[in-house]
Amino acid sequence: MAAIKETQDDGDRQKKTVIAVTDGPAIPRKMDVGLFTAWRVAFVGALAVIAYLAIVHRDPYWEILKFLPDGILVTFQVTIEAIVLALIIGLFTGLGRISKNRIINGIASLYVEVIRGIPLLVQLFYIYFALGRFVNLPAMASAVIAMAVCYGAYMGEIFRAGIESIHRGQMEAARSLGMSYQQAMIHVILPQAFKTILPPVGNEFVALLKDSSLVSILAVSDLLRRGREFASESFTYFETYTMVALVYLVITLVLSKLVSIMEERISVD
């Protein structure tokens, strides 16, 4: 997804255009008529196709649909556990990135650069197979840790940007009231920053849910893994992966709409 933001320089009064590209979902906003309409068409169309296939072609589509719910629950379990852990990692990483202590800042910056430079699939293999020689972790735990470590680096940059978006006068005012740096950060800066970072965190949540399909390679029975199991038993590969794709599409469309609603409410407040 590409987002274009215009900023104005007070010195030369020139507008600067910044293009931010992420791997998150396309969020349907009312101001973007084309994307908003496309979201409605895609959502209604996906539901209609699922209903048509499950009713008109019950065998095998209805059987596939009944086989997938367990995988959907596991997908959400992995996603939620990983995003919670990623938020904790991201918070400390973001604070480290703005720290004036060179060692802490260097460690946080190195973590961000290294982790963002390694594909998530490689990290999954490394934690489960390579580190498995020393620490025997269950497949589910390995999947959650790998995804949390990967997305923690991205969350760290989100937290950093959110904290830096708060005017430095807020910190100065808090310190003038007798607060320590830690107290000012906890009670003044972070509560304001959370409001700023909620939309991008929502984007990362949806992106993480899509990437959770990679955990199927670790024998975690997520949505994709359940589809593979059904296809290998029935040899209905086209039908199975069609239904899996449609279910993923509906889930991500619903979540992207929730992120859009959250953004609208935050902007109104």
> Given a cut of 70, is residue 174 above it in pLDDT?
yes
* Residue bearing tokens 């007798």: 178
pLDDT confidence band for 3 (50 / 70 / 90): very low
- Rounded to 10 deg, the angle between the 139-164 and 69-97 helix axes is 40
Q: Where are the domains of the chain?
A: 23-268
> Which pLDDT value is given to residue 72?
94
- Confidence band for 269, pLDDT divided at 50, 70 and 90: low
Residues 58, 176: Cα–Cα separation, whole Å: 69
174 CB-near residues (< 8 Å, 6+ apart): 183, 184, 187, 188, 189
- Classified as helix, coil or strand, 137 is coil
Q: What is the pLDDT of residue 262?
A: 81
Strands of the chain (E only): list them.
2-8, 15-21
Among 104-118, 182-196, 213-227, which stretch is predicted with the lowest mean pLDDT?
Answer: 182-196
Instruction: Give residue 1's pLDDT.
Output: 40
pLDDT band at 169 (very low <50, low <70, confident <90, very high): confident
Rg for the chain (alpha carbons), in Å? 22
Measured CA to CA, the distance from residue 45 to residue 79 in angstroms comes to: 26
Closest CA to 91 of 155, 27, 15: 155
CATH homologous superfamily for 23-268? MetI-like (1.10.3720.10)
pLDDT of residue 64: 94
Examine the pLDDT at 144 and tell me if it is beyond 80: yes
Question: pLDDT class for 203, splitting at 50, 70, 90?
Answer: confident
Query: Among candidates 11, 68, 22, which has minimal Cα distance to 241?
Result: 68
Mean predicted lDDT score pLDDT of the chain: 85
Q: What is the percent of the chain where pLDDT is above 90?
A: 54
Do residues 35 and 26 touch, judged by C-beta distance below 8 A? yes
| Predicted TM-score (pTM) above 0.95 | no
Is 59 or 15 the better-scoring residue by pLDDT? 59
Q: For residues 120 and 112, give the distance between their C-alpha atoms in angstroms, rounded to a whole number.
A: 13
Write the CA distances from 52 to 46, 61, 66, integer angstroms.
Answer: 10, 9, 15
At residue 32, what are phi and psi to the nearest 5 degrees? -100, 90
Whether 163 shows a pLDDT value over 70: the answer reads: yes
Whether 29 and 35 have beta carbons less than 8 Å apart is answered as yes
pLDDT confidence bin for 39, thresholds 50/70/90: confident
Which position has the higher pLDDT, 203 or 48?
48
Q: Average of pLDDT values for 163-184? A: 86
Q: Is the pLDDT of residue 266 over 60?
A: yes
